[in-house]
Amino acid sequence: MKKLYFLLPLVLLACKSNNSAVNDPSSSKVSSQPVEITYKVEQTNVSDFLKYLSSDELEGRETGTKGIEKAAEFLEGFLKKNNVKPYFKTYRDTLTNFKTPTFNIVGVIEGNDPELKKEFVVLSAHYDHIGVDKNKKEDVINNGANDDASGVTAVAEMAKYFSETKSNRRSILIVFFAGEEKGLLGSKSLVEKLKVQKFNLYAQLNIEMIGVPMKRDYLAYITGFYKSNMAEKINEYTGKKTIGFLPKEAEYKLFYRSDNYSFYEAFKKPCQSISTFDFENFEFYHHPSDEFKVMDIPHMTSFIQEFLPAVTQIANSKTQEITMKN
Q: pLDDT digits over 150-188, tens only?
A: 999 999 999 999 999 999 999 999 999 999 999 999 999
Q: pLDDT digits over 213-262, tens only?
A: 999 999 999 999 999 999 999 999 999 999 999 999 999 999 999 999 99
**Predicted pLDDT at 136:** 73
**Predicted pLDDT at 137:** 72
d(CA 205, CA 190): 16
Q: What's the topology of domain 5-9+24-316?
A: Aminopeptidase (3.40.630)
Residues 6+ apart with CB under 8 A from 177: 104, 124, 125, 126, 127, 128, 186, 187, 190, 259
Of 122-136, 198-212, 310-324, the range with the lowest mean pLDDT is 122-136
d(CA 293, CA 277): 17
Residue extents of the structural domains in the chain: 5-9+24-316
* 172 touches 109 (CB < 8 A): yes
d(CA 135, CA 141): 11
**Predicted pLDDT at 135:** 79
Q: pLDDT at residue 307 above 60?
A: yes
**Predicted pLDDT at 27:** 47
Rounded to the nearest 5°, which phi and psi values hold at 137?
A: -100, -30
Q: pLDDT digits over 41-90, tens only?
A: 999 999 999 999 999 999 999 999 999 999 999 999 999 999 999 999 99
**Predicted pLDDT at 264:** 98
d(CA 170, CA 324): 19
Q: pLDDT digits over 7-43, tens only?
A: 544 443 333 333 333 345 444 444 447 888 999 999 9
Q: pLDDT digits over 197-221, tens only?
A: 999 999 999 999 999 999 999 999 9
Pairing of strands 120-126, 201-207: parallel
Q: pLDDT at residue 272 above 70?
A: yes
41 in helix, strand or coil? coil
Q: pLDDT digits over 70-79, tens only?
A: 999 999 999 9
* 179 touches 98 (CB < 8 A): yes
